[in-house]
Structure 1
Amino acid sequence: RDPGAVREASFAAAPDASAPARPSRERVRMNQRVFDRVWSEVRGQYYDPGLHGVDWNAARRTYRPEALAAPDDRALYRVLGDMLALLDDDHAGASAPAVARRLDTVREPRPAIGVTLRRDPGQPGVYVVERVREDSPAQAAGVAAGWRLDTTAPGAWFPELDVVEGQVVTLVLADPDGARRTLTVTPRIMPPRPAFTADLSRSGVAVLRIDAFDLGLGDWMGRQLASLPSDTDIVLDLRGNPGGRLLEADALLSCFLPRDLAWATRTPRSGRAIVLKTAGGCGDLDAPAPNDVAVLVDANSRSAAELTPAALQEAGRAVVVGEQTAGAVLISQDTALPDGGRLSLSRSDFVTAGGVRLEKRGVTPDLTTPLADEAADQDLALELAISALARAAEGQARVAQAPSL
């Protein structure tokens, strides 16, 4: 899983400025338990025993005093984040209890403003708005994708706080031109976004949107494919997808690739390479679907949303369209922390069946989306994918009609 990379944000009120600067005795004890658990997990469970050359004992001496002195979750998890950043691994991250609670309820009705955020690694406390949900308080307030959220401004919201329905929050943002805007937004209960959706509005094309590799993806995909004619072109939309369950990635691949086909190799801390082969988990589908396939990706496609298009691309089973993906493809696992927070840590290295290590590299599309005119209401990547599939079908028809000699 990749829980720390992209998430739908739910916001609460800014903290009380009168909060004590020094931690209580109970706070210090909990800080110690959380820090020691994170440090020990990395030392004993990280996929690279050499920790990428990081002196982990020195890291403990540097960051443990800072962690123990943290007066609140925000300060504690900032220290943990700084220490984990030494690994230079997008899958190594610690989520504060409030963030973990939002992750646990992502598929439930909950208070939200409808914004998807991504941390800006170059500016601590600053987030990029990746997506604004339709009919949300954020959209009503005029927030747009590409804006930057500053959580360091006095009185501004920051992620380590729980949401309170109906309680006004202050968001400090900057638009792409750098103009600073301070908005007040009132969170409200919003229904969950479905993890998988099908758009059958185009003749001969099914656009299957996958927001995350959640439980049930393989079964859902099998039902969709079983209901479609074999000449229907399939577009898998993985843009903005942060990844998820490895078993569901295998199930999706099994919808299009033959059973027992090697598609990747994972190498855990032990160093023993494990070949991943399609297990045939595409619901009730008896055989891989014959439909032509295109996969949409962008710079925010991560983890399972990278290894999946890479496997289909290497097998010659799909055309990949869009942007270079994030290059965050190590196989991770979550660990619960004593205060209710969560540690995400890479447990295995990963290479494709062709021997390509996608970490820090990403998937290179077969077709790159041209720069869009922001004023134009067009999905250029989708249009390009549909055109590519149409051209492929025309080529197949010409081959089929050619006379044999």
Structure 2
Amino acid sequence: MRARTVGSLPFIFLLFLTTGHAFALEPPRSGHPVFDRAVQLVVDNFHDTAALDRFAATVRHEIEDVPLTAKSSQAEVDRAIDTILASLGASHTARFKRDTIDYFELVDIFRFAIRNDMRRLFPPDGEVNYAGIGMVTQSTGPRFVTDVYDGSPADRAGILVGDEILSVDGAPYREVESFRDKAGRNVEVRLRRQAGAEPIAVKVAVERLRPLRTFERAIENSVKVTEHDGRRIGYLRLWTLSTADGLDIVARELATGRLKDAEGVIVDLRGRWGGGPADAAELFVGDTPTFRLINRNGKETLANVRWRRPVVAIIDEGARSGLELFAYALKVNGIPLVGTRTAGALLAGRAYLLPDDSLLELAVSDAVIDEGLRLEGRGVEPDIPVPFSLPYAAGKDPQFDAAIEEMRRVLAKG
């Protein structure tokens, strides 16, 4: 039976580089160069012109009623920009500053769009990098670890998703500043693994991380095979589709690597960013044949890889943009999805540098599947809903466990 696909679109999600047309609207000016530039970029490029009247009203409120001026503080400007962007009600629309990991990861993803500034931002070679340990956190009060990149220093040190981060070298945790100028050294991370428990001190090596390369290594290091009921079940995690070699790494593992003898594979789409080609899911649902080239010396080159054995996927709000489209393609082809609803963040974005070198991401194109389906604001629902409680998870992952159980059921059914 021919697999259903969502088509190959002429752009890459999160890497969309076409500039939008200028909308006939002259926005008010605050006199602050960063705020005014952000406003102008939205007016000139945001994909949904119907939202611009609401946007303009919010801008006027910030300038006339707050008021925002050329002398406003940095905190006031930050708040005002966040407010006007939120009024657009769209994904792929936010501002990122150099004190966040998001900034460095997105600058690397959007490097072509801002290529003329890369050497200035990251001298001398223009390669995005920052000192870090490969850990991402979120804070709504206590700060908990949301992601630990496979094979990263944080992973090797035993830091777990759900750990509460208390301090780094005795100072409050700052995701970039805590590790600045410490590459090649160890830091002491104090964390709490259980509510009310005594803190744990962990020594972690700080490395100079290149975001896209870090993602590729994390994808490769995530691959494993475990045995259940005498059946070999493989696993891999797609942290993003935005890297140059990420999908090739997956294809090699499936065809000739650690996953080649697995009887089924769990594909973890709980990622960080989307990106990638719109037909990425063809690895698992495409109907073209696996194809390889062999030269006169017997060396093989994989030209096309298709996985024909069972697949179960894990999703949550980390599956966004291109990963969300990937999840949708799996679902419509009958592959069970385990976890929670995806982010509902499927638009095409482009990045722009603002005068203070912060990064403005804007949704510059709508994204429509088939004859009118939009995942923006809607997401993809799991077939097997399994919640995940982050605080003090201590290595427990009920979504992964449920995916293993579903794969066991699928394999037993035959």
Shorter-chain TM-score tier = 0.5 to 0.7
Q: Provide the rounded CA distance (Å) in 1 between the counterparts of 2:131 and 2:376.
A: 35
1:208 aligned residue: 236
* Aligned positions of 1:33-72 closer than 5 A: 33-51=33-51, 54-56=54-56, 58-60=58-60, 62-63=62-63, 66=68, 68-72=70-74
Q: Deviations over 1:17-48 (max 9, x none)?
A: xxxxxxxxxxxx99833222211121121111
Structure-2 residue corresponding to 1:242: 272
Cross-structure match for 2:355? 338
Q: CA deviation at 1:386?
A: 2.6
- Residue type at the aligned position of 1:32: H
Aligned to 1:234, the other structure's residue is in SS state strand
| 1:83 equivalent in structure 2 | 84
User: 1:131 is matched with which residue: 140, 147, 164?
Assistant: 147
How far does residue 91 in structure 1 lie from its aligned partner after superposition? 1.9
Alpha-carbon RMSD: 4.6
Q: Is the 8 A contact 2:43 2:52 kept in 1?
A: no
Deviations 1:64-113, CA, capped at 9 Å, x for gaps: 952633444x5533321122111122321011244434654699764225
CA contact 1:35–1:80 (8 Å) conserved in 2: yes
> Which is bigger in relative contact order (C-alpha 8 A, separation at least 6)?
2
Q: Which runs of 5+ in 1 are unaligned?
A: 4-28, 261-282, 397-405
Verify the 8 A CA contact 1:47 1:348 in the aligned structure 2.
Answer: yes
Residue 195 (structure 1) shift: 4.2
SS in 2 for 1:34: helix
- The count of aligned residue pairs is 335
Using structure 1 for the length normalisation, give the TM-score. Answer: 0.65
Displacement, 1:184? 12
The amino acid across from 2:327 in the alignment is P
Alignment partner, residue 319 of structure 1: 336
Q: Give the SS at the match of 2:68.
A: helix
- For the residue of structure 1 that corresponds to 2:251, the secondary structure is helix
Q: Could you list the runs of 5+ residues in structure 2 that have no partner in the other structure?
A: 1-12, 16-28, 110-126, 289-300
Write the distance in 2 (CA, Å) between the matches of 1:224 and 1:142: 26
**Shift of residue 202, structure 1, vs aligned partner:** 1.4
After TM superposition, the score normalised by the length of structure 2 is: 0.64
1:395–1:132 Cα change, 3 Å: closer
Per-residue CA deviations over 1:103-145 (Å, capped at 9, x if unaligned) read 546997642254313475xx9xx96541356885799898962
CA apart distance, 1:2: 6.5
Aligned mates of 1:244, 1:226 — CA distance in 2: 24
Deviates more, 1:288-297 or 1:157-166: 157-166
- For 2:302 and 2:346, how far apart are their aligned partners in 1? 29
Q: Closer, same or farther in 2 for the Cα pair 1:177/1:89, shift >3 Å?
A: farther
Q: What SS class does the counterpart of residue 302 from structure 2 fall into?
A: coil
Structure 2 residue 281 is the aligned partner of structure 1 residue 253: yes
Note closer, same or farther for the CA distance 1:59–1:113 as it changes in structure 2 (3 Å cut). Answer: same
Moved more, 95-104 or 201-210: 95-104
User: Partners in 2 of 1:173 and 1:306 — Cα distance?
Assistant: 32
Q: What is the deviation of 1:332?
A: 1.5
Aligned residue identity for 1:62: E
- Counterpart in the other structure of 2:119: none
CA contact 1:98–1:341 (8 Å) conserved in 2: no
Cα 1:221/1:160, change in 2 over 3 Å:
closer
Q: Is the contact between residue 320 and residue 366 of structure 1 (CA under 8 Å) also seen in structure 2?
A: yes
CA distance in 2: counterparts of 1:38 and 1:109, whole angstroms: 25
Letter of the 1:284 counterpart: L
Deviations 1:286-316 (A, max 9, x none): 3532121111112332222222111210122
Identity %: 24
Go from structure 1 to structure 2 and tell me whether the alpha carbon gap of 1:336 and 1:346 turns closer, same or farther (over 3 Å shift).
same
Q: Where do 1:175-194 residues align within 5 Å?
A: 188-189=206-207, 192=214, 194=217
The one-letter code of the counterpart of 2:248 is D
